[in-house]
Amino acid sequence: MFIIRSYMETEENKSFEFGPIKKHSLSDIENTSSIQQPLNTDTNSKKTLILIIILLLILAVGGFMLFKNKSSIKKLVARPTPTPAPTATPAPTEAPKILERSQWSLEVLNGSGVTGLAKKVGDKLQGLGYPVVKTGNADKSNYLTTQILVKKDLAEKVDLVIADLKDIIKIASYGGELKDSTASARIILGKDSI
């Protein structure tokens, strides 16, 4: 930006004085052959105006098409749908398992090879309230661990019996289903119960 400091016209050189601009004589300014004329501004302004109109039409048509179908916007901008928080459903309360010793009739068989062990353990079990329907020897006398076989309908309560008898005998495993007896369970004493 140029600031005109002073404007002076002198008769001898007929020059103008501008701030940082060089001094020129009036004859230099009158000689316009060295100054280039700008191009025809009417043609440039018409081209610019046409270009602006075309761009505005493109924007208007594009905006109309975009907002006409709002679902296309939703497709462009995917928003996650909120999922409902899972609600805690209370677990069905299971009726507490109660061991009724009088409902468990037992066979006590000796598989340890120690004479009289089945009778001795059977007497202790009867003292707790278990009905002992049979004592005797097992099919073999070399069982290493004590096991219990239970009728199918009582299998879900076998853990209660094992826990109840832990101070008298150590029952190492559940041997499976008892099929060939009228008793509720059969205890086969192994060498671990000596």
Q: Specify whether 130 is located in the same domain as 69.
A: no
| CA distance linking residue 97 with residue 159, whole number of Å | 10
Give first-to-last CA distance, the chain, whole Å: 115
Which pLDDT value is given to residue 129? 95
Lowest mean pLDDT among 31-35, 119-123, 136-140: 31-35
Q: Specify whether 27 is located in the same domain as 54.
A: no
Residue 106 is assigned to a structural domain of this protein: yes
Q: Specify whether 69 is located in the same domain as 26.
A: no
Lowest mean pLDDT among 31-35, 37-41, 110-114, 171-175: 31-35
Q: Quickly state the pLDDT bin for 1 (edges 50, 70, 90).
A: very low
| Under 8 Å between Cβ of 181 and 104 | no
Q: Specify whether 28 is located in the same domain as 47.
A: no
Query: pTM for the full model?
Result: 0.52
pLDDT tens per residue across span 97-130: 788 999 999 999 999 999 999 999 999 999 999 9
Which pLDDT value is given to residue 72? 54
- Cα–Cα distances in Å, from 106 out to 7, 37, 118, 150? 132, 125, 11, 9
Mean pLDDT, range 51-63, rounded to an integer: 87
Quickly count: other Cβ atoms within 10 Å of residue 181's Cβ.
14
Q: Specify whether 23 is located in the same domain as 51.
A: no
| CA distance linking residue 71 with residue 67, whole number of Å | 9
| Under 8 Å between Cβ of 103 and 75 | no
Residue 93 is assigned to a structural domain of this protein: no
Q: Specify whether 105 is located in the same domain as 188.
A: yes
Q: Specify whether 68 is located in the same domain as 21.
A: no
Strand order in the sheet with 147-150: 132-137, 106-110, 185-189, 147-150, 173-177
State the total domains in the chain: 3
Q: Specify whether 14 is located in the same domain as 48.
A: no
Is residue 100 helix, strand or coil?
A: coil
Could you tell me which residues come within 8 angstroms of residue 159 by beta carbon, excluding any fewer than 6 positions away?
Answer: none
Find the domain containing 139 and state its range.
Answer: 101-193
Q: Specify whether 57 is located in the same domain as 15.
A: no
Lowest mean pLDDT among 22-26, 73-77, 87-91, 111-115: 22-26
Residue 61 is assigned to a structural domain of this protein: yes
Residue 88 is assigned to a structural domain of this protein: no
